[in-house]
Structure 1
Amino acid sequence: MKARRSFKTLTMSLALATGAALMTALPASSATTAPANAQPLPSAVQTHASGPKFQLTSSNQKAAADKLLADHLTTRANLSDVLTNQQFPNSAGVTEDWMKLREMRSCAGKERGALPPDPINKVVDWCWQKSHGDDVTTDWFPQGMSTTGTADGADGQIQGRSAVAVAWHYENKPKQNEPVGTGCQTHNLLKLSFIDRETKKYRHVLLAEPTVSGTDSNFKFVTGHGGGIVWYGNYIYVTDTIRGLRVFDINKMAKVDSYGEGVSTYGVNGGKSSACGYGYVLPQVHFYSQPSCTSGTGDRTVAPTEPICHSWLSLDKTSGKPYKLVSGEYHMGPGGRVVRYQLNDFGAATHPGLLNLSGNKTVVEDAYTLSGYTNVQGGMTWSEGTAPLNFALQKSCSNVPNVFAKTWVGDTRATRTTGCTGAPLTPGGPRVQKGNWSAGTVEALSHWPKRHIDGANVEVNELWGLTEGVCTGTPTPKTDEPFDVCTGESGSPRLSLRAIYAVGFGDPLVQGLH
């Protein structure tokens, strides 16, 4: 067996949107020969990237967004407005607790099961505010996450703020003999939460797609799962799982006219704008579309010619320009795919900050199949010279500990793919725990390389993640799985397994997981 290379820290030069050079530390891979119990295929293999299955068609909506702002959304807003304006009264002037800034809190007690396990050091261990139910609501579920650390690796700030963005989708699937949700209760309605890293204050903002009919401008809400987002400069990329990728511009954020807990309208009506009660909207400026996908929605073999389902996103700057927007596919069986699109930096002559195009089609850098992993709901890639491409992946396991894996193309080590729990070692005994990570269904991974601290840009090299879970008490957890965090929970009150965490990306306790 070859000697394993240590998990040293690799320092790489990344070109930033500003054109400045940044030295960012990312963990190096470890090359080993296959163990005796290795799986038959490598955990990740490169696949053909050509053809329409990964290509997206570009549609620019900037002009429509600008007209909407000029015609109706004339009160512009920035991150400071959203994250510091307490906004106690609603638009009618009535003080409303629902409109106040909310605040993340430290997770406590059994909630900490939603964090990476001890002794891994948690730099951040946030749970959502209890009032208004953000921590346990089953109407809204947090999904994708990205940060200003990803958006600007030089100092980790955008518009002078260090912030985190989280996408939520509204859960309103039609039930038997119940009406389908409409309007502001439409299934998969999307919003973002912006969280100030320093104060932990946050506010929800509705995503808006501009529309133009003749000379009239308006906007409609956006729907989708929101499973992946990437913040890059002033743009926030959001997955539309079956249809492609949407792009929103925080430089075009605006305040609406009517807002408050009782407001249930959206768009412009009678000359007044509203956004399902929220005070701010974030307009869409670009859409990369594709034919609808189905491969990421079931436990079956992925058709190799079928369009990819965009379940999660991350950003890779480690191999130089053009950067790589990484989109991964959730799949219940092995074979979920990962595609990396060429992403222009903000100094590019064409399409600055947007995906590289050829003939109005996105340019694919490369693509991979995750032969050794199932149920991946968060991942990222990074390069180190000529070594195989590295992957960090999260496998979701609901309320039992999930799986975090650091792997690389061609890695033949055995993986934890056969399930999150194993058969009892003795008849009638407890099942074997296979997870090595947080419980509560993992949803996203994001890298934060540097922070602006005390006037200096400091390398922090943090790995951020998010979980979405809630213990509702139904169904009752299996008694033979004592490591199910929901075991013993009645559902009244509900236990939150909904957390945001950050750990050291170079921590050997993290990089040694597989």
Structure 2
Amino acid sequence: MAASGMVPTDKSAFLLNRATGDLADGAAKLASDIGSTSVEAVLAAANRAMRRKGASATMGSMNPRPAEWYSFDDGDQQTTDWYPQGLSGSDDSGGIGVPSFLVSWYFKPEAGERGIRLSFVSPRTLKYRHALLVQAKPDGAYGPIDIHAGGIACHGDLLYVADTVRGLRVFDLNNVLDLRTVQNDLGDPQRVGRHAGKLHAFGYRYVIPQTDFWKVAQAGPRFSFVSIDRSGATPRLITGEYRENDPGGWVGRWDLDLAGGQPVDAFVMGHPKIQGATSQGGKWYLSQAANATTNGKLLVYEGQTLRTRPFPIGPEDLAVQDGKLWSVTEFRNKRTIFGVGL
């Protein structure tokens, strides 16, 4: 059993190799056929509404409750098809022109796979909109990406998405593509790709094609969550591993150009069920889940000193925005974005 606490480990075990292949060509072809729009434009066309301090069952026995939280609309609360997982925001990006959160969701049913989607959320208006993340070919064909998308982080225009057994998929937010620019409707909500001269994305208006890939050099490391630490002189990308009943999950920090593909440092976390992690100002924050009816915990390490703080039910990925630590919760009728003090 791994020792308790943040214990340094061999960082060479987590080597990533860049594997762009034809992804950039496929994305460029799709963008040339459809035309790109901006994140700000997507937010301006938001078609769903969040509710401030809704879905209060999410907070369970948490005391004190978060300073702020927003719940997704009834349709997204009640669905058993889609589950929110990853969280990032405009502060992570530094390039998005308006305050915003980004949330990744995965499609759970094995039948009728619909891949992963990304929500653009405005904390100002509490409006949001989904977009479909896709993989495109140089001939312009495209389709869904069947992964868990357990964590995301945005740096500049690049969105990093955790691919559990493969590494990190990369999407360029300059390539948010609006199907309405080339056709009058959104196609067949049951189809994706090009069919009978039309473009389809399961009824979504926006698609974002993958542009790059950082793949694990050897089988073994699992990439479950992602975040960014902007508190130091050099921003760092953080990713790590969820383990159900094993405290041996790892977490590592990379320079943001991922130069050399090896993390700057890596640690064994010493706790099971870690769904998200980030470091800020010499502290580590770990989001620990329980189950659909039991509160999670926020574990805060300063050196080897551990403090445990209350957290809602079902906490996932972590992000820092507006001086707060934010997370997203996943369970049905308990789906929120919430923020607590650092």
Q: Which residue is equivalent to 1:3?
A: none
Q: Which residue is equivalent to 2:315?
A: 442
Does the 8 Å contact 1:464/1:502 carry over to 2?
Answer: yes
Q: Which residue is equivalent to 1:85?
A: 45
Structure 1: gaps spanning 5 or more residues = 1-38, 87-100, 174-180, 294-306, 345-354, 385-389, 417-434, 449-459, 471-495, 506-514
Q: Which residue is equivalent to 2:124?
A: 198
Distance 1:106 1:267 in 2: 36
Q: Which residue is equivalent to 2:86?
A: 144
Match of 2:328 among 450, 459, 466: 466
Secondary structure of the equivalent of 1:251? helix
Does the 8 Å contact 1:42/1:410 carry over to 2?
Answer: no
Match of 1:282 among 162, 183, 208: 208
Per-residue CA distance 1:434-486 (angstroms, 9 max, x = gap): x83212x11111001xxxxxxxxxxx41111111112xxxxxxxxxxxxxxxx
Structure 2: gaps spanning 5 or more residues = none
Higher Cα radius of gyration: 1
Partner AA of 1:463 in structure 2: L
Match of 1:410 among 280, 304, 307: 304
Per-residue CA distance 1:352-395 (angstroms, 9 max, x = gap): xxx22x3xxx1321110012x110001101344xxxxx210111
Residue 197 of structure 1, CA deviation: 1.6
Superposition CA RMSD, Å: 2.4
Distance 2:38 2:26 in 1: 20
Does the 8 Å contact 1:141/1:171 carry over to 2?
Answer: yes
Secondary structure of the equivalent of 1:82? helix
Residue 120 of structure 1, CA deviation: 4.5
Q: Which residue is equivalent to 1:509?
A: none
Distance 1:444 1:499 in 2: 12
Does the 8 Å contact 1:211/1:220 carry over to 2?
Answer: no
Q: Which residue is equivalent to 2:337?
A: 500
Residue 200 of structure 1, CA deviation: 0.8
Partner AA of 2:53 in structure 1: C
**Is 1:401 the equivalent of 2:287?**
no
How many percent identity over aligned positions? 29
Distance 1:115 1:231 in 2: 30
| Structure 2 length-normalised TM | 0.90
Distance 1:231 1:192 in 2: 12
Pick closer, same or farther for the CA change 1:271–1:368 going to 2, 3 Å.
Answer: same
**Is 1:251 the equivalent of 2:174?**
yes
Does the 8 Å contact 2:188/2:200 carry over to 1?
Answer: no
Q: Which residue is equivalent to 1:320?
A: 233
Per-residue CA distance 1:146-182 (angstroms, 9 max, x = gap): 0001111xxxx61x22111100000113xxxxxxx2x
Q: Which residue is equivalent to 2:248?
A: 335
Pick closer, same or farther for the CA change 1:271–1:462 going to 2, 3 Å.
Answer: same
Partner AA of 2:264 in structure 1: E
Q: Which residue is equivalent to 1:21?
A: none
Q: Which residue is equivalent to 1:311?
A: 224
Structure with higher helix content: 2
Partner AA of 1:141 in structure 2: Y
Pick closer, same or farther for the CA change 1:40–1:379 going to 2, 3 Å.
Answer: closer
Partner AA of 2:316 in structure 1: E
In the TM superposition, 1:425-440 aligns within 5 A as 436-439=310-313
Distance 1:279 1:393 in 2: 35
Pick closer, same or farther for the CA change 1:45–1:273 going to 2, 3 Å.
Answer: same
Q: Which residue is equivalent to 1:172?
A: 109
Does the 8 Å contact 2:167/2:214 carry over to 1?
Answer: yes
Residue 504 of structure 1, CA deviation: 2.2
Q: Which residue is equivalent to 2:62?
A: 117
In the TM superposition, 1:4-403 aligns within 5 A as 41-50=3-12, 53-60=13-20, 61-70=23-32, 72-74=33-35, 76-85=36-45, 101-108=47-54, 111-114=56-59, 117-122=62-67, 124-130=68-74, 133-152=75-94, 158=96, 160-173=97-110, 181=111, 185-186=112-113, 189-212=115-138, 216-256=139-179, 257=183, 259-260=185-186, 262-290=188-216, 293=219, 307-321=220-234, 323-332=235-244, 333-344=246-257, 355-356=258-259, 358=260, 362-371=261-270, 373-384=271-282, 390-398=283-291, 399-403=293-297
Does the 8 Å contact 2:2/2:248 carry over to 1?
Answer: no
Residue 63 of structure 1, CA deviation: 3.1
Partner AA of 1:207 in structure 2: L
Return the structure number with greater relative CO, CA threshold 8 A, min gap 6. Answer: 2
Does the 8 Å contact 1:115/1:499 carry over to 2?
Answer: no
Pick closer, same or farther for the CA change 1:277–1:291 going to 2, 3 Å.
Answer: farther
Distance 2:185 2:82 in 1: 19
Does the 8 Å contact 1:115/1:501 carry over to 2?
Answer: no
Pick closer, same or farther for the CA change 1:146–1:467 going to 2, 3 Å.
Answer: same
Residue 318 of structure 1, CA deviation: 2.9
Partner AA of 1:102 in structure 2: R
Distance 1:251 1:319 in 2: 27
Distance 1:289 1:403 in 2: 31
Partner AA of 2:72 in structure 1: W
Partner AA of 2:236 in structure 1: K
| Structure 1 length-normalised TM | 0.61
Secondary structure of the equivalent of 1:242? coil
Pick closer, same or farther for the CA change 1:259–1:464 going to 2, 3 Å.
Answer: farther
Residue 497 of structure 1, CA deviation: 1.3
Structure with higher strand content: 2
Partner AA of 1:404 in structure 2: L
Distance 2:252 2:227 in 1: 11
Distance 1:40 1:331 in 2: 12
Partner AA of 2:59 in structure 1: A
